[in-house]
Amino acid sequence: MTFAEIALNRKSEGRALAPGDLSRCYHPAKGFLTALAGAFPLMLLCLAYAFMAQESRYTLGTLPSWLTAYENRADVALALSYYGERAGLQIADLMRMAVRLLVFPYVNLLGSGSGAGMLLVERLSPALLLIAPLFYGLGYTQGERYRALVHGGIAVNQRKAEKRRKKQRPQRREPRQLV
C-alpha cells in the first residue's frame, strides 16, 4: 500500500513510472496469490497424504522393565510377545504427523474421537489447510477501504488541529469607544 501511495503521487505529478513500479502496487488478487504461493508446498504434502490416508488403528507401546522377567513364562509369553512386535517408522507416518500438525485446529471440529473422524480430517486436509490463506487474501482485498479510513482519519485530525490552533490564537479585539 505504501509503494502504491508513492506511485500515485508520482503519477499525479506527471512523472513516468517504471513497469516494475506498477507491478509492486496494490492489486486485490495479490493477497490470494501470495497466500497460495506460501501454502502451496504444504498443500501438496496434504494432498499426497490425503490419497494414501488409511484409518489408523491403535497399537500397544513398550513393556515396563519389570515385566521382562515374565516374557519367558509359557502362560503369559504369547500375550506379552504382542508388545514386542515393532513396525518401523515409514514415510506415511511422518507425513501423517506433519499433516495432523497442520490441521490440528480442525481436529476437534470434525472428530478426533474415532478413527473414521480422523480419516475424514486427513482426507479433507488440503481444503482445511487453505482456510487461513483464504482469509489472508480476503483481508488483503480490504486494503483500499483501510487506506480510505486512514486517510480520512488523518484529514479529520488535521481539521481538528487547525480548529484548535485558531482557538488558541489571541483574538484581536477592537478597542471600544468609551465616549
CA–CA dist 63, 70 (Å, integer): 11
Whether 101 maps to a domain, the answer reads yes
Q: Which residues form the domain of 98?
A: 2-52+88-163
Task: Return the number of other C-beta atoms located less than 10 Å from residue 86's C-beta.
Answer: 8
Task: Provide the grid cell at 179.
Answer: 465616549
Determine, yes or no, domain membership for 170: no
Q: What is the pTM of this model?
A: 0.60
* 29 part of a folded domain: yes
The answer to whether residue 94 is domain-embedded is: yes
At 3, list the grid cell: 509503494
pLDDT by residue (tens digit) across 109-128? 776 677 788 888 888 899 99
In a domain, 141, yes or no: yes
Residue 82 domain flag: no
pLDDT single digits (tens) 153-177:
888 888 888 888 888 876 667 777 7
Residue 173 domain-assigned? no
